[in-house]
Structure 1
């Protein structure tokens, strides 16, 4: 937990506790995060901390303060029963008022960028409240609702939405079956700035870590979409390409491991997909960089950029890596003694950021092409190529389909 509890005093004199997670930058755009029916528990604090790492100052108000202050429940049968009882007592209209007052209070804090617009993010009960906030709170730039329950009952209010609305819905959600999802999708289809995503084969609470229905891939994609919506509407604007270039500079030019690690989050990871080399966490990754990567690359290793795509949370680089295999490169060609041969490899890097820090790298290449170029794999009779894969990436006029024995058979056939 990186945040802290504070006392909220609103303009109308209401007082209640809230969890405050401060932006990694010390000050950031304000986000009010709305709780599940289980109160402001560890799961909600973790969500706030994650958004703080993304650059936001996040306030999680105790929305149960009128009926059961400081409630913090788990997910067992007894706690679920208590949570459901509180949900039945909860007044959604007053909850939306609390959210509006919480936004105003957050904006008054030094950790909040008072020049930036604000957003609301909510889960379960909080998802419904995030939707209602989009409908009822003027000048709210963005609202994100994860598996909100009961949105279909308030679809008429969607005509009042002025900002961006993002809904994350679970295909197997028992609280929002297919017919209701379709009603919501149809009801919001004509509302400008609204995006609805349905995540296949996942259930309610798929984005809650360490829970029965947690689905990592769905949660990751939903988080990316959430941050992309927040970046577009309230900021902050990070130059991800420049941050990535700084990381590369320390890897290949200065060959400075501490400086390389300083460009990354506290617990990053790197995965070179074909060889499964890299590391997870600061300790393992810094060990990998120090002893197996930064200081173990050939002196003439170079990167030739082909294309770059910069998104809200990641950079995708397409490039050719060239080098002379004059020393062992155990991260790339583990166990193969130096051959002295020149190698050119088309590569693709997916570089994920969390706020202004690099979070992970997924690096892809064709290992068969590398082995062919080194002379340790005979391509005869195999559907693999050597340096030609890199050459064709630069010169698309080079022949295609040379590995297809059937290619010549279609030369005189008609094309539809």
Structure 2
């Protein structure tokens, strides 16, 4: 738990607690985090810490305090039963007013610079939706909100993103379609459906956790928050600095300093890299940063910058004059020169790198160093790099049947 609990003044007297998580630099735009039916439990605190790492001041108010203070449930059958009991007795209108009190508290904090958004899951997904209409937030994101179809008369005048689980057992397909149809001509509302997923697909460790859907939904959520509230980071410059430390200065500590506390790197074709600070630093120090050929060169081809990631297309060029553990593990130097198209997808949390997924055609590398004979295989060597730079180079040279379509409609 990286944050702390604070007290929030209710609009009608009394106080209730909320979990407060701060970003690394101690200030930023704010998010009020609306809970599931299990109270401010470990998962909610995890989400708060996660978004704090993204650069937000996050406050998760205890919305069950009027029934029972400090609810913190797990997911055992007994806890589920108790949680549904709270859900059935919960006064939604008072809950939204308590969210508004949390928004008011956030706006008064010296740590909050700028706007306030809402984020919620399950029950909190509907509450985030209602917060967009009633609680004075500047934008909102709701995950698999239960009962939104019954509240479509609310006036949504701020940007809103709704994430819908395609097979949600608590939000029938008819309700999903009703929601989509209602907002189809309202450009400030974005609705994303995740086919094949069930309710709570973003809850880490849950029975229905779906990592691909959760990752995609998080990127879309961050895109909205960045667009409306910031903070805005120069991800391109951050990535350039990381590469400078890796390939130019070759400083392992400086390289690690550009990354979050527990980052990971995965070179997809060879499954090399590391997960977590200790493992990744070992990889960088002994098998990467100081182990690349001296003439290593990166030639940029294109760069796409999103809200939370950079996609780089480049040529990776080197002479194989030393063993390259991460690309050619166990292969002794051949002295051959290699040019290979390479794509890097770099994900950020706030102003730090979180992970790297690196892709290249390993077959082309093996052809170029002489370990793979391309004569009877549908693979190519340095030609792949040459065609990337010059689209006029011949196409379809590996297709033996290409000539058969000559002259055909």
Alignment TM-score > 0.5, same fold: yes
The whole-number CA distance in structure 1 between the counterparts of 2:407 and 2:84 is 70
2:252 counterpart of 1:254: no
2:309 counterpart of 1:314: yes
SS of alignment partner, residue 404 of structure 1: coil
Preserved contact between residue 24 and residue 56 of structure 1 (Cα < 8 Å): no
Residue 127 of structure 1 corresponds to: 125
The whole-number CA distance in structure 2 between the counterparts of 1:294 and 1:153 is 56
The whole-number CA distance in structure 1 between the counterparts of 2:247 and 2:142 is 42
The whole-number CA distance in structure 2 between the counterparts of 1:349 and 1:200 is 27
SS of alignment partner, residue 45 of structure 1: helix
Q: State which of 190, 208, 211 in structure 2 corresponds to 1:213.
A: 208
The whole-number CA distance in structure 2 between the counterparts of 1:298 and 1:134 is 54
The whole-number CA distance in structure 2 between the counterparts of 1:322 and 1:123 is 46
Residue 400 of structure 2 corresponds to: 405
Residue 37 of structure 2 corresponds to: 37
Preserved contact between residue 315 and residue 352 of structure 1 (Cα < 8 Å): yes
Matched ranges for 1:336-415 at <5 A:
336-414=331-409
Report the Cα offset of residue 200 of structure 1.
Answer: 1.2
Residue 23 of structure 1 corresponds to: 23
Residue 46 of structure 2 corresponds to: 46
The whole-number CA distance in structure 1 between the counterparts of 2:187 and 2:370 is 58
2:142 counterpart of 1:152: no
The whole-number CA distance in structure 2 between the counterparts of 1:15 and 1:207 is 30
Matched ranges for 1:278-289 at <5 A:
278-289=273-284
Matched residue pairs, number? 409
Q: State which of 225, 236, 250 in structure 2 corresponds to 1:230.
A: 225
The CA deviation string for residues 135-190 of structure 1, in whole angstroms up to 9 with x for no partner, is 2234x221111111100111111xx2111111111111111011111111111212
Q: State which of 135, 156, 165 in structure 1 corresponds to 2:160.
A: 165
Preserved contact between residue 23 and residue 111 of structure 1 (Cα < 8 Å): no
Instruction: Tell me the TM-score normalized by structure 2.
Output: 0.98
Report the Cα offset of residue 111 of structure 1.
Answer: 1.8
Instruction: Tell me the TM-score normalized by structure 1.
Output: 0.97
Q: State which of 265, 268, 272 in structure 2 corresponds to 1:270.
A: 265
Preserved contact between residue 55 and residue 355 of structure 1 (Cα < 8 Å): yes
Preserved contact between residue 8 and residue 101 of structure 2 (Cα < 8 Å): no
Matched ranges for 1:169-208 at <5 A:
169-208=164-203
The CA deviation string for residues 357-380 of structure 1, in whole angstroms up to 9 with x for no partner, is 000000000011111111111101
Identify which range, 1-10 or 318-327, moves more after superposition: 1-10
Residue 291 of structure 1 corresponds to: 286
The whole-number CA distance in structure 2 between the counterparts of 1:79 and 1:137 is 29
Residue 245 of structure 1 corresponds to: 240
Q: State which of 116, 120, 142 in structure 1 corresponds to 2:139.
A: 142
The whole-number CA distance in structure 2 between the counterparts of 1:10 and 1:260 is 46
Report the Cα offset of residue 196 of structure 1.
Answer: 0.8
The whole-number CA distance in structure 2 between the counterparts of 1:283 and 1:23 is 23
The whole-number CA distance in structure 1 between the counterparts of 2:151 and 2:326 is 55
Report the Cα offset of residue 396 of structure 1.
Answer: 0.7
SS of alignment partner, residue 102 of structure 1: helix
List, as ranges, runs of 4+ consecutive aligned residues in structure 1 with deviation greater than 3 Å.
10-14
Q: State which of 118, 139, 142 in structure 1 corresponds to 2:116.
A: 118
Indicate how the Cα distance of structure 1 residues 95 and 11 shifts in structure 2: closer, same or farther if over 3 A, else same.
Answer: closer
* Structure 2 stretches lacking a partner, 5+ long: none
The whole-number CA distance in structure 2 between the counterparts of 1:91 and 1:13 is 17
* Structure 1 stretches lacking a partner, 5+ long: none
Residue 303 of structure 1 corresponds to: 298
Identify which range, 397-406 or 209-218, moves more after superposition: 209-218
Report the Cα offset of residue 295 of structure 1.
Answer: 0.5
Report the Cα offset of residue 9 of structure 1.
Answer: 2.2
Indicate how the Cα distance of structure 1 residues 358 and 163 shifts in structure 2: closer, same or farther if over 3 A, else same.
Answer: same
Q: Pairwise CA RMSD of aligned residues?
A: 1.0
